[in-house]
Amino acid sequence: MAARLKFWGWGREDEVLTREEVMRLEAAYAKRFGVSSFEAASTPKAEEIGLRAPRATVPGALSDICSTDHYERLLHTYGKSFFDSARVFARDFSNPPDVIAFPRAESDLVSVIDWSGAIDAVVIPWGGGSSVVGGVEPPRTERPVVTIDLKHMGKVLEIDTISQCARIQGGTYGPALESQLKPSGLTLRHFPQSFEYSTLGGWIATRGGGHYATLYTHIDEFVESLRVVTPAGALESFRLPGSGAGPSPDRLFIGSEGILGIITEAWMRLRPRPKYRAATSARFADFYRAADCVRAISQAHLYPANCRLLDAGEALVNGAGDGTHAVLVLNFESADRPMDSMMARTLEIVRAHGGDYDEAALGKEGAQREGAAGQWRDAFLRMPYAREVLTPRGIITETFETAITWDRFRDFHEQVKRATEQAIQEVTGRPGIVTCRFTHVYPDGPAPYFSLHALGRKDSLVEQAWAIKIAASEVLNRLGGTITHHHAVGRDHRRWYDRQRPDLFAEALRAAKQRLDPKGMLNPGVLVDPL
């Protein structure tokens, strides 16, 4: 049997960084912050944490699929942001959900929603719980909170190999989704960093961003049709390759973050697994020159699958560089044809912008797993496990991602970075590290992703991290960047989202919510307040 999921970190209880990895991390951070060593708080144990008594009693008819189990309530209290991690290590479980429901079929789901309505409960849809924006945590309310975990609705129900699509349940985790598709030779190829512990329904509900750095950047592009259960009933859209029939019903629910209904199934567009690849990485002395290069690649409509630009600091932190140059990780892939000519043209653009690249990697099988590209990939996969080592040592590790048009990029990047660095200095009393990479790029602009590392005080990590986040988000919002490119709005980004989206649009969304969820049960506080 698989080990339990950690309520205090990423993945399962038997998946932790090795002793050597921990020592390496400690040494690297000690050097960065100029300290000799760290004292680590202990990992919380389920039995040492007291929870308030559940505020609802599960009726007999639902007892098979609803639980008030202590561990389940701990596990479903938080998502996976730094703020969540800091509260976990502070043993702050003051606002847990009351009941966790595990429907096995749509009929179970309807019964849970009906019961929740009858007891005036708040309902929180839960996929993998990997939200980093407070999307799955209970709001502070007198109402009981029922979290609906869709993990038992995790099947690929049907594969249409002619149209290359599949009907997939909302609670399907990434690995289960790909392994069920594998015999067909088709793949969704949506690989967020959280792939292992997040679900299709969560990806759609948050407009997640995945594998493709260009063209198919968000899950949106792969959704062919949706089935959604709302408190007002179920609805399903036509399966269509495209349609001009009015506003898209799918687009109302894609990105709805669980406030309008629960996505139980989706027909998803698939593709054959790639057979041809061309991969390398390029180095640039200057980050902005490298950004110009990425713009030129993007505006030449070359569409590399991977086009991730790491600034020198980001490359250093992830072992893909020595901190003196920016690194551009490039990868083309296709199931149909060799990608060499696309890569050759891309490298002409790289050279024209003063970049030099790894000639030896070109044409080599598995090049995307070697050299700087491979280092980056390995670090990317281990990164989620680092937080549970760093938080107990008082190290704040946060990320925020945005998008901005190219004409404003340089000034935007300079100001956001400076504001974040200043905030770290003011809040923690010492310099921190702020790095940037592009996760996705478009002909009209990049999606910069900032990571910050700061040494905080263990007794006020949440407050300090919030002060830094507010300072960064204020500047980002004032300069016209989006408050999120793919992590979603949740509860954490509400104040900036409210300024970003037009007021009349918010009223229209609220009216749609009123129609679908008249009692305001679903995820209150996320995206809009009820009417």
Ligand X SMILES: Cc1cc2nc3c(=O)[nH]c(=O)nc-3n(C[C@H](O)[C@H](O)[C@H](O)COP(=O)(O)OP(=O)(O)OC[C@H]3O[C@@H](n4cnc5c(N)ncnc54)[C@H](O)[C@@H]3O)c2cc1C
Distance CA 470, CA 307 (A): 29
Closest CA to 52 of 35, 25, 77: 77
Supply the minimum distance, in Å, between the C-beta of residue 170 and ligand X: 3
Supply the minimum distance, in Å, between the C-beta of residue 340 and ligand X: 28
Q: Quick one: 73 or 80, whose CB is closer to ligand X?
A: 80
Query: Which pair of tokens denotes residue 125?
Result: 């849809």
Q: Quick one: 135 or 321, whose CB is closer to ligand X?
A: 135
Supply the minimum distance, in Å, between the C-beta of residue 329 and ligand X: 15
φ/ψ region of 434 (left if φ > 0, alpha if ψ in -120 to 50, else beta) reads: beta
Three-state SS for 263? strand
Query: Which pair of tokens denotes residue 475?
Result: 């500047």
Q: Which amino acid does the sequence have at 430?
A: R
Q: Quick one: 141 or 161, whose CB is closer to ligand X?
A: 141
What number of other Cβ atoms are within 10 A of residue 321's Cβ?
22
Closest CA to 254 of 191, 217, 202, 177: 202
Distance CA 6, CA 514 (A): 36
Supply the minimum distance, in Å, between the C-beta of residue 400 and ligand X: 12
Provide the sign of the torsion angle of the four alpha carbons 515, 519, 520, 523, taken in this order. negative
Q: Quick one: 391 or 523, whose CB is closer to ligand X?
A: 523
Residue 132 near residue 487, CB atoms below 8 Å: yes
Residue 458 near residue 394, CB atoms below 8 Å: yes
Q: Which amino acid does the sequence have at 456?
A: G
Q: Quick one: 131 or 306, whose CB is closer to ligand X?
A: 131
Q: Quick one: 259 or 350, whose CB is closer to ligand X?
A: 259
Query: Which pair of tokens denotes residue 470?
Result: 């507010």
Helix axes 19-33, 371-390, angle to 10 degrees: 90
Q: Which amino acid does the sequence have at 84?
A: D
Measured at CB, which residue is nearest to ligand X?
Answer: 202
Q: Quick one: 290 or 526, whose CB is closer to ligand X?
A: 526
Supply the minimum distance, in Å, between the C-beta of residue 128 and ligand X: 3
Q: Quick one: 193 or 415, whose CB is closer to ligand X?
A: 193
Query: Which residue ranges make up the site for ligand X (CB under 6 A)?
Result: 79-80, 124-132, 135-136, 150, 170, 192-194, 198-199, 201-203, 205-206, 208-209, 257-258, 262-263, 384, 486-488, 523, 526
Residue 295 near residue 305, CB atoms below 8 Å: no
Supply the minimum distance, in Å, between the C-beta of residue 189 and ligand X: 13
Supply the minimum distance, in Å, between the C-beta of residue 139 and ligand X: 12
Find tokens 């830094």 and name the residue: 468
Supply the minimum distance, in Å, between the C-beta of residue 233 and ligand X: 15
